[in-house]
Structure 1
Amino acid sequence: MSPELPRTPPSPRPGPPPRPRLIATDLDGTLLRRDGTVSPRTVAALAAAEEAGIAVVFVTGRPVRWMDAVSAHVHGHGMAICDNGAALVDLRDGGQRLVEARELPRPNALAAVRALRLAAPGVSFAVERTLGVHHEPRYPPMLRDPVTEVASVEKLLGPPPAYADEPVLKLLAFHPELDPDAFLALGREVAGEYGEFTRSSPTALLEVSGPGVSKASTLARRCRLLGISREEVVAFGDMPNDLEMLHWAGTAWAMGNSHPVVLAATRRHTASNEEDGVARVIERMLAGT
């Protein structure tokens, strides 16, 4: 009789995921309702998460000056990642203090402009800086913002001393006719080597950040400083500019109103922003269900 072979011990069953220590949530289309407000239910859920020791970080494509929508709901932590990861902001005490800026280098921005002009005639540009936005004459008017200069993008990206103390956070490229997703694919194809291309608007508006700058990379840097692993992060989003963050986080939720690409790429789906989708997940999470 041949000797009995040793039995392989059964693989241990995977344990439950770590208790979340940080919630990272997009704003427009995710936390905010269509009218730009935060519902009472969502306010209560964020406060309950903070009370339970879970940090909340707002991660948005919005510029710093548009953070008034959530400044009343920061509950003491007060950190936000703005401009698709290009700005880390302290909102405590009702302020908007820039902690870190990850700029788009001027040569990269100009190279992206040249490539997009050749590939997409009719494109127009705006430049998002730390203290404001400037745009070309054909760019759609910035209704929310006082614009300090209207000029060609080449002039707006001119060498110092022009805006020497205001790093470029994003280059915005708008096309009046192209399909938004097709424009994004084109931008990445012809100019992706110069920066990170994404979109969050329903129109053909591209947002270009510096190489390696995204919601995900800045959130990862912040979590490293706090000693929080990606497995301890729960993230919410709805648009292509959220995809990298949703892929990076240990637990990712797509809103019911998400772009089809986001729904297809994310296993967990919650209700829409109009139906308090973020609050519903937080409530269940705190209840342990």
Structure 2
Amino acid sequence: MTIKLIAADMDGTLLTSDGQLPKGLFPLIHTLWARGVRFAPASGRQYYTLYEQFGEIADELMYISENGAVVADGAEIISFEAMPVEEVCRAVETVRQLPGVYAIVSARHGGFYEDDADPAFMKSMAIYSTRRTKVPDLLEFVRREPVCKIAVFCEGRAEQVLLPAFGSFAQSSQLAVSGADWMDLMRPGMNKGLALHAMCRKLGIAPEECMAFGDYLNDLELLQAAGESYAMASGHEALKAAAKHIAPGNDEDGVCRTIRDVFGIDKC
């Protein structure tokens, strides 16, 4: 079946280890666009961060952001899936009780946080959230502003510290470990795979007409939703076991190389 949509995770997948987009990506996306194939970054990052990152071709892309909670077609936001206020408040209160743990919440107009004491948190947050604002009281903020995702930070120990600490949320929120430092909380059932289905409905195509790339546990549903799934050779072992194919690692230009091979596109 002909591929009409390609979705690729960012960190550890499309981006190099030093956080750079691969050379030749923009011309490749132009070529895909001319063939009627859409390209979608699929990330835990903020929508505004992704949109700005793709600069001159931003309006040609579709976006899965906030691990699926926000979906956009160019500058148009297609969906924003807010969490129950009570759940957001409970998560903020839990973060406040944990030493070395910090949070940023995602609202319609950017990210919001209350504690800037940890340099590692501030540095990592700046990578994922271009629009971010410090507020004096995060709990007061989330009581009046809809929130689609809570990103919780614990340097180097997301799986070891955050998963157990937020274990009681598993029945009422979607939990996704999105890297060594971060865990995301969203509405139940929310993930990149559901976002891919929303894109398919928007485009009038079948999931079998999609190709997806990922490297970490929060990409599992994305790969399961696509007809052709690729885990990066440098990725998590559990994801590689679940994927149809293995692509070269992110520092080997794995996404672009695979796309060029599948579509028969010469390197630009």
Q: Same fold by TM-score, threshold 0.5 exceeded?
A: yes
Q: Distance in 2 between matches of 1:32 and 1:238?
A: 11
* Structure 1 range deviating more: 183-192 or 274-283: 183-192
SS state at 1:30 partner: helix
Unmatched segments (≥5 aa) in structure 1: 1-17
1:223 maps to which residue? 200
Provide Cα deviations, 1:65-109, integer angstroms capped at 9, x if missing partner.
Answer: 2122223334x6332121111112233xxxx44332111221121
Select which of 14, 17, 20 maps to 1:37: 20
Cα offset for 1:113? 4.2
In the TM superposition, 1:128-147 aligns within 5 A as: 128-137=106-115, 138=117, 140-141=121-122, 142-143=125-126, 145=130, 147=132
**Cα 1:65–1:114, aligned 2, differ >3 Å: closer, same or farther?**
same
1:197 Cα deviation (Å)? 0.8
- Give the 3 Å change call, closer, same or farther, for CA 71–216 of structure 1 in structure 2: farther
Alignment of 1:171-182 (within 5 A): 171-176=150-155, 179-182=157-160
Letter in 2 for 1:264: A
TM-superposed deviation, 1:36 = 3.2
Q: Is the 8 A contact 1:25 1:58 kept in 2?
A: yes
Distance, in Å, in 2 between the alignment partners of 1:232 and 1:146 is: 33
Which residue of 63, 66, 76 maps to 1:83?
Answer: 66
- Residue 107 (structure 1) aligned with residue 86 (structure 2): yes
Matched with 1:193 is 171
Aligned to 2:6: 23
Q: Which residue of 2 aligns with 1:157?
A: 142
How many residues align? The count is 257
The one-letter code sitting in structure 1 at the alignment partner of 2:35 is: A
CA contact 2:62–2:72 (8 Å) conserved in 1: yes
Deviation of residue 270 (structure 1)? 0.9
Q: Distance in 2 between matches of 1:148 and 1:189?
A: 28
Which shifted more, 147-156 or 252-261? 147-156
DSSP 3-state at the match of 1:40: coil
Cα offset for 1:152? Answer: 4.5
Contact 2:228/2:244, CA 8 A, preserved across alignment: no
1:181 alignment partner, SS class: helix
2:220 corresponds in structure 1 to: 243
When the two structures are superposed, what TM-score results if normalisation uses the length of structure 1?
0.78
Q: Deviations over 1:220-274 (max 9, x none)?
A: 0220232211111110111111111011111100112212332232241111122
* Partner SS, residue 257 of structure 1: coil
- Looking at structure 2, the residues matched to 71 and 105 of structure 1 have their Cα atoms a distance apart, in angstroms, of 34
| One-letter amino acid matched to 1:80 | Y
1:187-210 per-residue CA deviation (whole Å, 9 max, x = no partner) reads 56321122111122322x211111
Query: Are 2:244 and 1:271 aligned?
Result: no
- Contact 1:42-1:276 at 8 Å conserved across structures: no
Tell me the residue number matched to 1:11.
Answer: none
* AA in 2 matched with 1:129: A
Q: Structure 1 pair 124/89, CA: closer, same or farther in 2 (3 Å)? A: same
For residues 221 and 147 of structure 1, the distance between their equivalents in structure 2, rounded to whole angstroms, comes to 27
Using the aligned pairs only, state the percent identity.
Answer: 28
Query: Match for residue 254 of structure 1?
Result: 231
Residues of 2 paired with 1:243 and 1:39: CA distance?
A: 23
